[in-house]
Structure 1
Amino acid sequence: MKNTNLFLSVMIVFFMITACSTNPKPAVDASSLSADSLPAQQPDSNISDPADTATTKVSTFAIKASARNLMNMVLGQLAQENAQNERVKKFGVLLIKEHTKSGKKLMDITADKHIMVPAEIPARMQLRINELSKLKGAEFDRRYMIIAADNQQKDINLFEKAAKDLKDSAFNAFIVKTLPALKMQLDSAKSIKNEL
């Protein structure tokens, strides 16, 4: 659990550094701002689903996608620490690689749009991670891949719904680029799950 928290802390610092390294925006006249362009309030990490605090479809998607992305990176790290099966470990490496990349793109978009996303995994998702972190070896591998396949399907469902609902070009481009990787991760998760 300490390693998971350390990894999460490192990833948060990474995202904060990359978000801070972007070029500063010029001052904007407050009278020209619409409700969508105002920053959302930072969700409370004790809220079961921080997206409940969002005011638009765009911010709801951003918050949910960010939380799921964080969860996938922590799940990838957990596979590195607790898995016995080599394919499960490699799947964890894949999750970290893909979700670090998509997480950076998502952070860039949310920073440009002044959408605040959670810096912590929502409590409901953290419970699942806590349960998994207690398992080791073959038992971990089986349970992990069941959760991983379910998790990837939920990611795909979220992105496909957003692709239909959102009218934002930056998020739509992000969704189009990210969906194939999510589908590949789901295929890998199912294949590994069926072998265990």
Structure 2
Amino acid sequence: MSSTKHGLSSMIVTLVLFFSPAIQAAPLTDSPQVVRPADSDVIFMRKAAEAGAYEIEASKVALSKASTLAVKTFASQMIRDHEAADKDLMLLAQQVGVKLPASPSAEKMQEINQLERLNGAAFDKAYVQNVGIDGHQDAVAMFRKASDNAKNDRISAFAKKTLPTVTHHLGMAHKLAREVGMGQ
């Protein structure tokens, strides 16, 4: 009878431990002593990494395909600034135990492939619209939201630090759109 009581006691302890909210309160990463950030913070970091990779890859295409010096200059700055931001983001991800994508999403890769098929003024306008304006409007909204709502202080600080640069890029893109005849 005592072995049955012992077996039942062990099973109850196991069930209590399994369903205990205190034990499951925060998901852990592979790194010891690192608590994984909130899901919304992780989603922001992953989207920011994909967006940065997209900007860099599309801007590399622009260096060889753009027909104006203004577009090539913009592309060079996008590469420089986004590589610096990506370096900071990768370091932050390592610190908080989040694995980030190293390349653009499949959808964004298709956009890059479409850009590669264009030449001259058509390329310039598509690059400025897709990468300069649309990409940076999305990025400004994403970084602003993370600046205000990130749960992790380091992630919030990264978003706040990067937001002015992304906002500046959007302003540059609007100016560039006028220069390439888009009437923005």
Same structural fold, with TM-score higher than 0.5 when normalized by the shorter chain: yes
Once the two structures are superposed, the pairs formed by residues 1-196 of structure 1 within 5 Å of their partners are 34-35=26-27, 37-39=28-30, 56-147=39-130, 148-196=132-180
Q: Contact 2:150 / 2:156 at 8 angstroms: preserved in 1?
A: yes
Deviation >4 Å, runs of 4+? none
Letter in 1 for 2:153: S
Q: Gapped runs of 5+ residues in structure 1? A: 1-30, 40-53
Instruction: Give 1:143 deviation, angstroms.
Output: 1.2
Deviations along 1:61-112, one digit per CA (max 9) or x if unpaired, are 1110000010111121111010011000000000000001000000000001
Letter in 1 for 2:82: H
CA distance in structure 2 between the partners assigned to 1:55 and 1:71 by the alignment: 25
Q: Which has the larger radius of gyration?
A: 2
Count of residues paired in the alignment: 151
TM-aligned CA distance change 1:186 to 1:173, over 3 Å: same
Q: Gapped runs of 5+ residues in structure 2? A: 1-22, 31-36
Deviations along 1:13-67, one digit per CA (max 9) or x if unpaired, are xxxxxxxxxxxxxxxxxx89931x425xxxxxxxxxxxxxx97111111110000
Letter in 2 for 1:150: D
CA distance in structure 2 between the partners assigned to 1:33 and 1:103 by the alignment: 30
CA distance in structure 2 between the partners assigned to 1:134 and 1:155 by the alignment: 25
Letter in 2 for 1:192: L
TM-score using structure 1 length? 0.73
Q: Percent identity?
A: 26
**Could you tell which deviates more after superposition, 89-98 or 128-137?**
128-137
Letter in 1 for 2:29: L
**SS of aligned partner of 2:104:** coil
Instruction: Give 1:120 deviation, angstroms.
Output: 2.2
CA RMSD of aligned residues (A): 1.9
